[in-house]
Structure 1
Amino acid sequence: MITNKITYKNIHNRFKLNGYHINLEQMYYVAYSFIKEGEPFEQHVGNFLLDWFDEKSYIELQTSGTTGAPKVVRIEKQAMLDSALATGDFFGLKPGDTMLHCLPTNYVAGKMMFVRSFILGLDMKFVEPNSDPLKNIDETFDFCAMVPLQAKNSLEKLKAKKIKKLIIGGVKVHKALEQELEKLPMEIYETYGMTETITHIAAKKIGEKVFTVLPNVKVSTDDRQCLVIDAKNISKDKIVTNDIVNLISDTQFSWEGRIDNIINSGGVKLMPERIEDKLSTLIPRRYFVFGQPDETLGQKAVLYVEGEPMVIEDAVFAVLDKFEKPKEVVFIPKFNETATGKILRTESMQSIGH
């Protein structure tokens, strides 16, 4: 697709916001109205729109803080535009397609939904981001993006085919939810990405293991087996991640876990995400596995479960290999999490003095 004729100030003539065609001049009016008279979630939109259409060539975005302190990164608007075009190509979006926007716009995923809509010419309905976005929705939409909690709370509406094509990101899709989503009569994709990659750079259909990258993206691994992303339209430099992957080709990979989380227990390297995946349909609450110091083993695997103490039968751990079985189970009343729903493991443990 030719992109050099399209600039970030282009607004497609098919773009609609909540049923109204809006041009560049009207976009400023909408932005000011949101800021002056809107709800807090609308004020975020207004501020973003003014930032997008100003004279600067970049936008400053805040990372979610999942693996460290949140930080501000500077992203070129042209790179965001190119990302929007790649998403359109990958998911087959065309001018006039209807889209439901239900993500918070103070984070990159919500911002990119706006960019996609006015660059690709989508007919967008924008609603307040909450945990049950389809609750008061009667229309049917061609495209929507959600986080897993929203998808979980929307299962009944999704069964009624309210969304034709759904992408889910922000947090890994839990296996129990994945099994529910596989039953639905629609196209559903789990996406892979981060703020630095301007949301997703790869996607896979729900139920599949292998991610396929979007157009103009290539992937490789470093000597740690961690993913390296080469997306020149997004970043001049290669993006080196801490995500351990199984590389299938320069366009496909499967995600295995985070190198930061690996537990070295008695010389055996344990991957918490692999353990969590095996337990995913057996523990009816949120949980995670983390390594803690141990005099004998160096590190031991500890299972942290959200909520009040409960009995977890030993048989639950039969699905695990001998060395994977947690040496301790600890209950945390409420996990700490980012605004996008990612569990902050370290902060959650620190909340109970671990």
Structure 2
Amino acid sequence: MIIMGKIIIEKSIYSFEDIRLGNWSESDPYFHQALSFCQSWLCGKEEFEMSTSGSTGEPKNIQVKRKQMEVSAAGTGDFFGLDKGSKLLCCLNIWMVAGKMMLVRALEWDAEVTVVKPIENPLLETDDNFDFVAMVPMQVAACLDHPITRPRIRQIKNLIIGGAPSSSLLIEKILEQGISAFQTYGMTETVSHIALAKISAGDLIYKVLPGVKIGTDKEKRLWIKAPMAGEKKLQTNDLVELLDEDSFKWQGRADFTINSGGIKLQPELMEPKIIPIIQSLFGHQEFFLFGKPDERLGQKLVLVIQQKEKDVKKEQDLLLALKENFNRYHLPKEILYVDELVKTASGKINRPESYKIAK
């Protein structure tokens, strides 16, 4: 069998055979790690250690079998019709499962993959056209906002977005630019995504990959049984609306649910509706809703905004605008500010830690 695949790092091009034989030298620790992982894969390593993000419990290191990663890569390849000779861009953190799986897809598809560091705007590092790219929402937004990379991201044939949900504003920009993009659903334990939702107007509807079985528990939290998860049943903390045996709407995290005086509030469903109001007053500042302990209500709804200084006038205007658009149960009882939001390794807002330093 002729192996055509190759890895491009800056100005160096390595064939898969070069990598398998160790005929490469990269002094940069990040690129060295990427090639070392690829060498281990090409030499037949059967198990790999991954750090979880905490979707099914506390973050931890787990062992993932090669077969799980092969099944995941095959499912994605079949979905998008990608195979030998496809051009991929790996711009996600290769220390995490999402980055590693981009390398595995290239290796399994005998494809060409360009590897860049996981910076905010990775398309500034390459002007090539790609068949398949995975990014986090922050990267997509940065590419769309930059005049040089806006046309480049439009040229990507298949873009998948994961790590965190895309905001309604980002979805609007994606649709305006006519980009073929999919929101992913998955976690380390499922070895990347097990479902994809085509980004379109209206609610995102996730369709599972072949062989994946889903259901919900009595609290409407999603459970998954999939070959890429080793066939074991995984119980998540994600609240979903199950549409049929193959599709669902994501509602948010059960552990973020706020119980305020017996009224259950789901921040991740409420936040997209607040975005236009926040942006009209504070610009493109990040924010989140959180439950603050309260003697009378149990928890009270608070809004935490990334902003160095409190602006009394803007705060008053914000509260007035929220009152005009939401019922009293969905109104924040307090607004807090934080200089810099704390993020997880995968780029998500760490809500509990960010709340701790808010004032």
Using structure 1 for the length normalisation, give the TM-score. 0.89
Deviation of 1:143 (Å): 1.2
Match of 2:276 among 281, 284, 293: 281
Change (3 A) 1:82 1:315: same
Structure with greater proportional helix content: 2
Tell whether the 8 Å contact from 1:275 to 1:320 is kept in structure 2 after alignment: no
SS at match of 2:237: strand
Matched, 1:346 2:352: yes
Change (3 A) 1:48 1:12: farther
Write out aligned runs for 1:1-354 (5 A). 13-18=3-8, 20=13, 22-24=15-17, 26-29=19-22, 33-34=25-26, 37=27, 39-53=28-42, 56-65=45-54, 69-155=58-144, 156=147, 157-160=149-152, 161-207=154-200, 208-284=203-279, 285-308=285-308, 309-310=310-311, 311-312=314-315, 313=317, 314-317=319-322, 318-352=324-358
Task: Determine the C-alpha separation between the residues in 2 that align with 1:65 and 1:348.
Answer: 17
Change (3 A) 1:178 1:73: same
Using the aligned pairs only, state the percent identity: 37
Tell whether the 8 Å contact from 1:51 to 1:59 is kept in structure 2 after alignment: no
Task: Determine the C-alpha separation between the residues in 2 that align with 1:301 and 1:67.
Answer: 25
Deviation of 1:275 (Å): 1.6
Alignment length (residue pairs): 339
Tell whether the 8 Å contact from 2:47 to 2:63 is kept in structure 1 after alignment: yes
Q: Which runs of 5+ in 2 are unaligned?
A: 280-284
Task: Determine the C-alpha separation between the residues in 1 that align with 2:356 and 2:320.
Answer: 29
Tell whether the 8 Å contact from 2:53 to 2:59 is kept in structure 1 after alignment: yes
Deviation of 1:55 (Å): 5.9
**What whole-Å deviation, never above 9, does each CA across 1:312-340 have from its counterpart, x for those lacking one?**
32233133232011111100111110132
Instruction: Give the aligned residue type for 1:88.
Output: G
Task: Determine the C-alpha separation between the residues in 2 that align with 1:196 and 1:299.
Answer: 32
Change (3 A) 1:327 1:185: same
Deviation of 1:73 (Å): 0.9
Task: Determine the C-alpha separation between the residues in 2 that align with 1:305 and 1:75.
Answer: 37
Instruction: Give the aligned residue type for 2:321.
Output: V
Change (3 A) 1:56 1:210: same
Q: Which runs of 5+ in 1 are unaligned?
A: 1-10
**What whole-Å deviation, never above 9, does each CA across 1:31-90 have from its counterpart, x for those lacking one?**
x623xx2x1321321342344355652111012357865310111111001100001011
SS at match of 2:296: coil
Task: Determine the C-alpha separation between the residues in 1 that align with 2:321 and 2:2.
Answer: 54
Instruction: Give the aligned residue type for 1:240.
Output: Q
Task: Determine the C-alpha separation between the residues in 1 that align with 2:16 and 2:151.
Answer: 35
Change (3 A) 1:297 1:26: closer
Change (3 A) 1:132 1:43: same
Tell whether the 8 Å contact from 2:92 to 2:98 is kept in structure 1 after alignment: yes
Using structure 2 for the length normalisation, give the TM-score. 0.88
RMSD after superposition: 2.1
Which range moved further: 61-70 or 87-96? 61-70
SS at match of 1:335: coil
Tell whether the 8 Å contact from 1:63 to 1:71 is kept in structure 2 after alignment: yes
Task: Determine the C-alpha separation between the residues in 1 that align with 2:321 and 2:212.
Answer: 41
Instruction: Give the aligned residue type for 2:286.
Output: R
Task: Determine the C-alpha separation between the residues in 2 that align with 1:306 and 1:165.
Answer: 32
Task: Determine the C-alpha separation between the residues in 1 that align with 2:321 and 2:43.
Answer: 56
SS at match of 1:170: coil
Change (3 A) 1:68 1:218: closer
